Every structure is written in C-alpha cells, then in structure tokens.
Amino acid sequence: MELWRQGKEVWNEWVEKNPVANVSFMSMDFSKNTQRTALPKLNFSGFKFPNGNVDFSYANFGKGDVDFTNTQFGEGGVTFFRTEFGEGDVSFRDVVFGEGDISFFRTKFGRGFIYFTNAKFGNGNVTFTLAEFDEGDVNFSGAEFGKGAVSFSGAEFGKGAVNFSDAEFGEGDVNFCLKTFGEGDVNFVRTQFGKGHVGFSGAVFGKGDVNFSKTQFGEGNVSFIAVEFGKGIVNFSGAEFGKGDVNFDGTEFGRHANFSLLNIQDKTESITFRYAVFSGSIEFSTQSEINIIPDFIGTKTTNHTSLSGFKYKLQRDRCHLFSKAVNEYDGESLCRLKEIADSNKEYVTALRFHADEMRAKRWQKERMGTTASLLDWLFDVFSLYGQSIWRPMAGFLLTITTSLLYTVGFSFPLFTPSSYAQWFTNMENISYQTWVYGFDITLSRAVPFLGGIRVDGAFALKELEPLLSVNFSLFSALFSLLAFAFIFLIGLGLRNRFRL
C-alpha cells in the first residue's frame, strides 16, 4: 500500500528491479486510505506488475472511481475473489493480463460503468462466475480472450446495458449459463467465439434488446437451452455458426426473434428450437443453401413467422429412384415447418416443406411402405407434389400425342434402310381424314367433358372402326386414365399457384 501511494513512476521502477514477485492487496481496505479524499479516483492506470501472482481478494475499494486503464499484469494469475467495488466507475480499458488464470469470482461491482473495453486476456482461464454488477453499463467491447475457458456462469447484471460487441474468444469453452441480465440492452454484435463450446443455458435476459447480429460462433456446440429472453428484440441477424450443434431447446423469446440471413457452415451438425416458446414474431432465413433442417418440433408460436427466405437442401443418398433421406427424422422437422408456414399463409413455402417431408419419409419402412413410396415418387416426378404446372401439362400433351399415333396406326421406323422404306409407305397410306378422325377420338377419350366432343368422337370411332387394333379399347382406357391423372395434376398446380 505504501509503495502504491507513491504513484506509478515509483511503483514501476520497483517492478523493474523486482521482475519476479508476488503482489498481494488481499483484504486491503482502500476506502480507509488517507489520500482517498484528495484523489479523484483510485488509480492503477499505467501500473506494471511483476511476473508473479497478483491478489486483490476481499479488497474493498469503497466509493469512487477505480482506474486500471493500460495496466499491465505479469505472467502469473490475477484474482479479485470477493473483491468489492463501491459506487463509481471501474475501468479496465486496454488492460493486459498475462498467461495465468484471471478470477473475478463473486466480485461485487457497485453502481457505475464497468469497462473492460479492448482488454487483453492471456491463455489462462477467465472467470466472472457469480460476479454481481449493479445498475451501470458493463462493456467488454473489443476484448480479446485467449485459449483458456471463459465463464460468466451465474453472473448478475443490473439495469445497465451489457456490451460484448467485437469481442474475440479463443479456443476454450465460453460459459454464460445461469447468467442473469438486467433491464438494459445486451450486445454481442460481431463477437467472435473460438473452437470451444458456447453455453448460455438457463440464462435470463431482462427487458432490453439482445443483439447477436453478425456474431461468429466457432467449432464447438452452441447452447441456449432453457434461456429466457425478456420483452426486447432478440437479434441473431447475420450470425455465423460453425462446426457443432446449435441448441435453443426450451428457450423463451419475447417480443421479436430475428434469425434472418444466418450463415450456417456445412460442418454445422444441427440447429434445434425444440419446445421453444415464441411470444412475438419470428424471422428465419439463411444466406445460402444449407444441408440441415432446423428442428421446430413442439414450438409454440403466437405471432407471424416468416420462413420464406430459408434456403436448404434435403440430404439424400445417391440411389436415384430409391434415394433415401440421410437423416430419417428430417421428415418430422419438415412437417412442423410446413404447419408453421401454412398457419402464416405462406402456401408456396408450406408446399415446398411438404414436398421434402414426403421425400424424407420415402422408402423409410417405418413411415412409408414400398408401394406407397412408389406412388409418392410418381407424384414427385410428374408434378413436384403439385408445385409444377408444366410437368403435368407436358405429360398430358405426350399422352394425347401417343394416343393419336396409336389410334391412326402410326408406327416408328426401325434403324434399317428397308424399314425406312416401309415406314414411308405406311405413312402415305394414312389419309388426312384419318388423322382428323383419330384426333376426335383421342380428344373425346381424354377430355370427354368438352362440349360436343363426345358426339364427334363417337362418329369418328364408327368411321375408323375397321382400321382400329383389336386391343384398342384396352389401350384407349389406359390413355384416358393417364389423361385424367394429368388433368387433375394441372388443376392441382393451378390451385396451389393462385391460392389466396
């Protein structure tokens, strides 16, 4: 204490002469310092510490500002265990910690602004577990954490804003579990998390907005299990998720949840909102096509949900006709997404989810048998589950053409010179009137509900009866059935396209 009272120059000179030493302010009461009334703040700004452990455990700083700006700690550990800061601002701006563990375990900060702006932590573990912050803002913007674990588990924030924008975390796990935020805004804009797991499970946010826009998560799992967001906007717009699971199971969202333009990497294994409660509107979209289906099973939505910008590709093996979904549970997830889209009148999006839901269930013996899967495949091929108009239209025209050629006795040539000669001879024998009668017969079988076409067809059938094949009735019925199926699919496509 006596050395510190002499100021920065004397202190740093002593450190140069004693580069390896432990420094302890343990249980010191700075509030009783005789010079406290003469100083505007308690000043450690620009102080350098030797390469030993630094201990402020149980220290009491009393009322007034405390300044650790540009302080440089050595390679040892630094602990503020159960340290009490009084009413006033506390600044650790641009502070540089060494490679040892940094502990603010159960530290109490008073009413005032708390700054760790651009602070640099070493590769040791950093803990703010059970730390208590009062009503001022807490700012970690631009802070750099090393390879060690970072824990804010059980920390309690007051009414001020909490800011981690542009902070960078290293390779260790980052833990905000059971953390209680106050009424101010919480800001993680452009924060970069490293390779470790990121946990917010059980955290409780207050009334302010929560902003994770453009945040980059690393390779570890991201967990927001059972988090409670308050009445503010929750913003993950532009957030980037890396390798691992992303879990929002049981999370409660307040006013508005913005998950627009997410950047989800190919290595991301899953993203789940199972049993989450959305009390406000939801927006979910991705910047590019992703390979996973988010799980919204069991979610509760009460307001508008927008999924139209969600781009994805259902992952299936490469067996062509018998392609099976890689994840057999994607069908259940897509079913829930379809329900959400349908309830919000996004019929085109709902139809897209339905199509992939059926593809995910196809050839899965527990969900769809072989016969049902085959019919489902045909429905997909000829109409994309009612999404396409041109596919069934092309099928209908092909059916009409094939039926007409069969009716008039047309035959394709074989690939020999003599067969071509015979083919030309056969073609010359088919008169123009025969083509007209054949067209009337075909049209009457394909669209019998058109006015007058049945009468014309019956007359044409009587005229061409001597020329018709023995199996004409059988094949004609088959063509009529196919034409009816394609007409139905065309109507289904028109209905889905112009549904209001």
Task: Round to whole Å and give the CA distance between 287 and 30.
Answer: 53
Each residue of 445-469: pLDDT tens digit?
A: 888 887 778 788 888 888 888 877 7
Q: Specify the 3-state DSSP secondary structure of 222.
A: strand
- Of residues 259, 242, 249, the one with CA closest to residue 295: 249
Which pLDDT score is estimated for 38?
A: 45
Mean pLDDT, residues 5-17 taken together: 94
Task: Round to whole Å and give the CA distance between 98 and 144.
Answer: 12
Q: Is residue 470 part of a domain?
A: yes
Each residue of 416-442: pLDDT tens digit?
A: 566 656 666 667 777 888 888 888 888
Each residue of 375-417: pLDDT tens digit?
A: 888 999 999 988 899 999 999 999 999 888 888 877 666 555 6
Q: SS3 for 314-348, per residue?
A: CCECCCHHHCCECCCCHHHHHHHHHHHHHHCCCHH
DSSP bridge partners of 60? 29, 84
Tokens standing for residue 42: 């308690």
Which pLDDT score is estimated for 471?
A: 82
How confident is the prediction for the chain on average, in pLDDT? 89
The answer to whether 461 and 434 have CB atoms below 8 angstroms apart is no
All residues at 6 or more sequence positions from 191 whose CB lies less than 8 Å from its CB, including other chains: 164, 165, 166, 167, 168, 169, 212, 215, 216
Mean pLDDT, residues 65-87 taken together: 95
All residues at 6 or more sequence positions from 80 whose CB lies less than 8 Å from its CB, including other chains: 56, 57, 59, 103, 104, 105, 107
Q: Is residue 480 part of a domain?
A: yes
Each residue of 297-308: pLDDT tens digit?
A: 999 998 999 998
Q: Is residue 81 part of a domain?
A: no
Q: Is residue 403 part of a domain?
A: yes
Task: Round to whole Å and give the CA distance between 179 and 183.
Answer: 13
Q: Side chain identity at 131, as an amino acid letter? A: A
Q: Is residue 438 part of a domain?
A: yes
Task: Round to whole Å and give the CA distance between 376 and 359.
Answer: 8
DSSP string, 59-97: -B--SSEEE-TT-B--SS-EE-TT-B--SS-EE-TT-B-
Q: Specify the 3-state DSSP secondary structure of 305.
A: strand
Q: Is residue 290 part of a domain?
A: no
Which pLDDT score is estimated for 500?
A: 64
Q: Is residue 440 part of a domain?
A: yes
Q: How many C-beta neighbours within 10 Å does residue 363 have?
A: 24
> Of residues 371 and 43, which shows the higher confidence score?
43
Assess whether pLDDT exceeds 80 at residue 120.
Answer: yes
Q: How confident is the model at residue 338 (pLDDT cuts 50, 70, 90)?
A: very high
Each residue of 209-268: pLDDT tens digit?
A: 999 999 999 889 999 999 999 888 999 999 999 888 999 999 999 889 999 999 998 888
Q: Is residue 88 part of a domain?
A: no
Domain total in the chain: 1
Q: What is the pTM of this model?
A: 0.80
Q: How many C-beta neighbours within 10 Å does residue 223 have?
A: 23
Q: How confident is the model at residue 34 (pLDDT cuts 50, 70, 90)?
A: very low
Range of the domain at 422: 390-497
The answer to whether 115 and 92 have CB atoms below 8 angstroms apart is yes
Which pLDDT score is estimated for 435?
A: 86
Mean pLDDT, residues 127-131 taken together: 95
Each residue of 140-178: pLDDT tens digit?
A: 999 999 999 999 999 999 888 999 999 999 989 999 998
